[in-house]
Structures are given as structure tokens and as C-alpha cells.
Chain A
Amino acid sequence: MFRYVVWAIVAVALAIAFVVLEPFFISPSAHGAGPQGLVGEAAPVFALRDDRGVPVSLDRYRGRIVVMNLWASWCPPCRAEMPDLQRLADTYGTRGIAIVGVNEGESPQRAREFADSLKIRFPIWIDGSQQYGRTYAALGLPTTVMLDANGVVARGFDGPLTFAEMQAAVAPLVRSH
């Protein structure tokens, strides 16, 4: 009997020794994640205003696929990408996809002038303190994040997308919608 108790204690001690030692063979090191790192997580939502001062929020798009594009007027690739986003809005707007342009850190006037110069008709939101840019881990501008109908991040892209790339990215979301 005593021998069994000893062996039981030794077995438990060995199991705990494994638990004690194992984590130290992986040293803690940190790395940041780009927008793709948020895939599968609920999209962070902040209350903003659009370029006309009207309060807006991602919550009101729940049930629709959202393509959220972070941009600024000083960013040449953002300017190049904008017409393709408008084309995406024109093509898929009636199929349950919402396109939202989130201006990072600029004034509403500057954002509106820029959008008007490119004949942009999809909603333009003003993120003065760059909350979306920070929280969605933008590595630069433009950054595009696609949310499914449940408000979960489905795709994240760093850099400009062509219209074909946008279509390829939203197609699976549209099919599963």
C-alpha cells in the first residue's frame, strides 16, 4: 500500500514538473499584428461623425457585409484606390455590401473636398483621433478591412487593392451571406 502511495506522489510530482518546466522553453516575445491579425474577432466599433457632422457607427450596418477603407488625402495610393472602391459600391451596393471610407486624422472639410474631387458617393467618416487606424493595426494607408454580416472581421489588407482584388475578396462573403 505504502509503495503505491509513493508511486502516486512521484507520478503527480513528475506531471507538475512538466507543467513547471515546459513554458520556459518558449520565451515570451511580442509581435504586433497587422489588420489580418484581427480576422475572426468581433470588429471594434467607435462612434464617429461623417463629413457632414452626422453621428455614425458600424453598429447600424449589422446584417450587411462592410468594406471599410482607412484613408487620408495626402496618401497617393489612397487616391488611386478610391475610384475602384466607388465602382465596388456601385456594383455590390444592392447586394448587401456597404462601403465606408474612414478618413484618418483630417478635418471634415479636407475629407469632403477630396471625396468631391473624385466624385465619391459612399459614406465618408471622420476619425479625428485615428482610433480605427490604431485599433485595426494599420501598418500604413490605405488599409481595408472587410466585416461579415455578424460584425466579425473577415479579411484585412495592407496597401491599395485593385477592383479585381476587391471582387475576389468580397465574393466568398457574398456567397455565404
Chain B
Amino acid sequence: MSATIAVTLVVVAAVVIELVLPGRSVYHSGWYNVALAALAIVAVVAGRRSLRRAGDARLRFAVTAMIAGCALAGLAGVASGLLAPDDQTFIGAPGQRLRVESLGVLTFPLAGGDSAAAGGVTLERPLHAAVTIGERPYYAGNFVLRATPRDVVYVEAADQRGNRLTVTQPSGSVFLSPVLLMEHRQRIAGMELPYDSFGVPAAQRVVKAVMFSAAQAAMLLRGGARLGEPAVLFAVDDENQRPVANAIALSAGGRAVRAGGLVLRGDAMTYPAITVAATPNLIATAFGALLVFCGLTAAIVTSLTKRPLLPQRSLGRS
């Protein structure tokens, strides 16, 4: 009986840990899931033996509940570990709506020049109210979602007379977005720097933007970059990717600079991405843990209320 209880508690504890600390790669590893499944099987086999030996109906109920709870929690853990996809990060452009199968629709807030409309990423699910995903984990079915900040750059382009021009991202996730998601990396002077590119069709220009954090800008750059300010380096080509005159300029602290016949401004900021990690099903784990708890309580109560056998007294005269 004690072996059944011990193994059952280990299985439930392991699955609860997966829920509390989601997103660890070990949960998807083969050895971990084989061990979890083996422990659950051991608990069921040991439980069945205890069941055969249990004479009391309450004790049989207790053991059955524990076996069922352990099997359920174990199944939830192993299913999540073996069948669930690896962790994914959804990077959306401001204003973009991403439909995520088996989850719902993620709506990314506006940002940059329209910061008044900014907020968190919202998740809309069928039969659920829309929720804003923050840095604290949000459990949705078999997944846990969390917002993580990323570096992005808000850009503005104008002609030499100061007339604002449309910014496009033909290869980006949103065509008409002035927010560069900086998903690419380039190595400059031993540092991995995020970069992205955008088009200015009215001027037939393609612009590459490399972002320097405040610390990187202070280490690498002079001219334009002040200490403590992030900076964006612009390199302007024509629409056939040929370089143009005076094509490189540095915009630090969001100040406007001239490059390649354009007036460009780059504002480095952070913007949320959504990390989705698979977890054991919350309802199944909670129900399994509840069954184990009920079974354990019933077993303790049964053992405490068991009538002790009275010692037989000698009837003979002393």
C-alpha cells in the first residue's frame, strides 16, 4: 500500500511541476516520458495488488481513486511530452491578427506613432472572453502562453522636402507596417545585431536597418550616438539593390537623418512576442490530483478508524 502511495505521489508531483514550470525541453525528451510512463504503470500494478488484499470497501475505494488519478495525471504528462509540439514563439507585427490552430486568434496591439492605441496581445478563443496575455503564464487548454518583450524598430521615411512616404515590407508578415520586427541577425565586430529591411516605393528605395542597443552603440559607434541611447544604422539601396550616393546614416535616439535621398527616422522599442509551450492538460491533471488526494484521505481515515483488536484476557483465577 505504501509503495502505491509513494509512486502515485511521485507521478502526480512530476506532472504538476510540468504545469508550474512550463517550457522546459526535458519534458519532451524520450527518457523522461519513458520514466514517467513506467512509474505510472508501476503505480497501477502495485495498486491492483493492494486492491486484491484490501478487505474494507472504503480502502478499496481509496486505492481505486489513487490508481485512476495517477493513471490520468500520468497520461496527461506523457501525452504532452510525446505528442505536443515543441515550444513556439509567435512574432506578430502591430495590428496583425494570427490565427493559431487549437488555440484561437492572437491580436497584436498597435505601436510606434500610434502608441495611444497600444496594449497587450489579446487572445480570443471560442466560448471564452478575450484575454490580454502578459508576462505571467496564461493557461489555455493544453498550452501555456506568455508574452516576452522583443526589440523592434519603428521607422518613418520622408522625401527631402519633408513629405512623408509610405513604408512597406514586401517580405514581412504585414505589408504596410512601419514597425520592423528585426528577425534577422548580422555579425558586426563580433556582435550579433538584429536587422531588417523595408521599402519606400514612392522613392524607389530599399532600406536596410541594423539595430544597436544602447550598450552596443556606446561601444561601437561615434557620430550621432549618445551614451545610453539605442541607435539604428540605415543603408539605402535603389530598388534594384544597387547602392546610391550618401547611402549610410545613423539615427540615434529616434532623431531624423538623411541617407540616399531620404529623411529617415528609427525608433528602437520593445514589443511583445507570444511564447506558446505545451503543458499537461490542466483539467485532467487537476482531476487526477483530486482523485489521488481523495484516495489518500480515504486511506488515512480508514487506517485511523480501524478498530484495534482487543487482547484476550485469561479467564483463569489467579
Q: Residues of A at under 8 Å CB distance from B?
A: 2, 5-6, 9-10, 12-13, 16-17, 19-21, 23-33, 37-38, 46, 70, 72-75, 104-107, 109-110, 128-131, 133-135, 137-141
The 14 listed contacts between A and B (C-beta, < 8 Å) are A9-B65, A16-B281, A16-B284, A17-B75, A27-B101, A28-B101, A32-B97, A32-B98, A33-B99, A110-B163, A130-B166, A130-B178, A133-B175, A134-B177
Q: Tell me, in angstroms, the Cα distance from A130 to B94 when the chains sit together.
A: 10
Determine whether the beta carbon of A128 is less than 8 Å from that of B113.
yes
Question: Does B287 reach chain A (CB closer than 8 Å)?
Answer: yes
B6 at the interface (CB under 8 A from A): no
- B176 near A106 with CB under 8 A, answer no
Binds A, one of B78-86, B125-133, B181-189: B78-86
Bitwise interface map of B from 58 to 89 toward A, beta carbon under 8 Å scored 1, else 0: 00110011001001100110011001110010
Distance in angstroms between the alpha carbons of A28 and B238 in the assembled complex:
39
Closest B residue to A158 using CB positions: B175
Instruction: Count residues of B near A (Cβ-Cβ below 8 Å).
Output: 60
Cα–Cα distance between A28 and B99 once the two chains are bound (Å)? 9
Is A13 within 8 A of B84, CB to CB?
no
For A139, the chain B residues whose CB sits under 8 A away are 175
Q: Does B103 contact A (CB under 8 A)?
A: yes
Is B100 in contact with A30, judged by CB distance below 8 angstroms? yes
Given contacts A2-B61, A17-B72, A128-B113, whether A106 and B79 have CB atoms under 8 Å apart is no
Partner of A74, one of B175, B201, B280, B287: B201
Cβ–Cβ < 8 Å partners of B142 in chain A: 20, 23-24
CB-defined contacts of A23 to chain B, threshold 8 Å: 102, 141-142
Question: Is B20 an interface position by the 8 A CB rule?
Answer: no
A159 CB → nearest B CB, Å: 12
Which A residues are CB-close (under 8 A) to B95?
Answer: 131, 134-135
Contact indicator B102/A74 (Cβ below 8 Å): no
**How long is the Cα–Cα vector from A135 to B97 in the complex, in angstroms?**
8
| A13→B72 contact, CB < 8 A | yes
Contact B100 A105 (CB under 8 A): no
